[in-house]
Amino acid sequence: MKNFLGSSIKDLENVALEYGQAAFRGRQIYNWIYNYRNKNKNIDQIEVLPLDFRKKLKDNGFKVSELIVKERNLANDGTLKLLLSTEDNESIECVGIPTEKRLTACLSSQVGCPMDCKFCATGKEGLKRSLKASEILDQILFIEHEMNRKVTNIVFMGMGEPLLNIDDILLSIRSINNDFQISQRKITVSTVAAPK
């Protein structure tokens, strides 16, 4: 299974060329996957692509999302908490915190967490696994879609210790910066400093 989220324009142009398509088809995929208004997140819905190209992508295991919303909780102040289910049936949380000018997305980096901080319920569960960059990025799109506006700020303060998933955190930060167009100054990685 290959998830397109986290891919750059160049990556997707190369995918299009590999399948005998013009490079602009890759740019069409790029524009589609990072647009939160595209609600039904599967390759069939990228209607600008020829049918046979969509079929080949699906047959070869490409995806644009692996998460499903299980629960939504909207607080009086507009803060939205989403419980999302992964393909292997694990649960992760993300939160959208709105103000007039900002929408901050609080993202999870792992399913559970091994750090066991005394004040934290997530730590009691232990670590199930780390999230892939595509699963981290998909949390942003779900928040944007549910709240119908672009995320402006990112905080890695949800489930997990980001430094224990550093490769996928760095991949996702590259994409947040380049593909979601969120400045690095608006991305905060909160850590309790993972042991070496």
Point out which residues bind ligand SF4 (CB under 6 A): 113, 115-117, 120, 122-123, 159-161, 192
Distance CA 142, CA 170 (A): 20
Q: Residue 25: which residues within 8 A CB-CB, separation 6 or more? A: 16, 49, 50, 53
Residue 92 beta carbon to ligand SF4: minimum distance, rounded to whole angstroms: 11
Rounded to a whole number of angstroms, the minimum distance from the CB of residue 195 to ligand SF4 is 11
**Cβ of residue 113: shortest distance to ligand SF4, in angstroms?**
3
Q: Which of 118, 115, 110 is nearest to 192 (CA)?
A: 115
State which residue has the least CB distance to ligand SF4: 123
Q: How far apart are CA 24 and CA 151, in angstroms?
A: 27
Closest CB to ligand SF4 among residues 11, 116 = 116
What is the closest distance, in whole angstroms, from the C-beta atom of residue 90 to ligand SF4 in the complex? 15
Is the Cβ of residue 125 or residue 177 nearer to ligand SF4 in the bound state? 125
- CB nearer to ligand SF4: pick between 64 and 97: 97
Burial of 131 (0-12, 13-18, 19+ CB in 10 A): buried
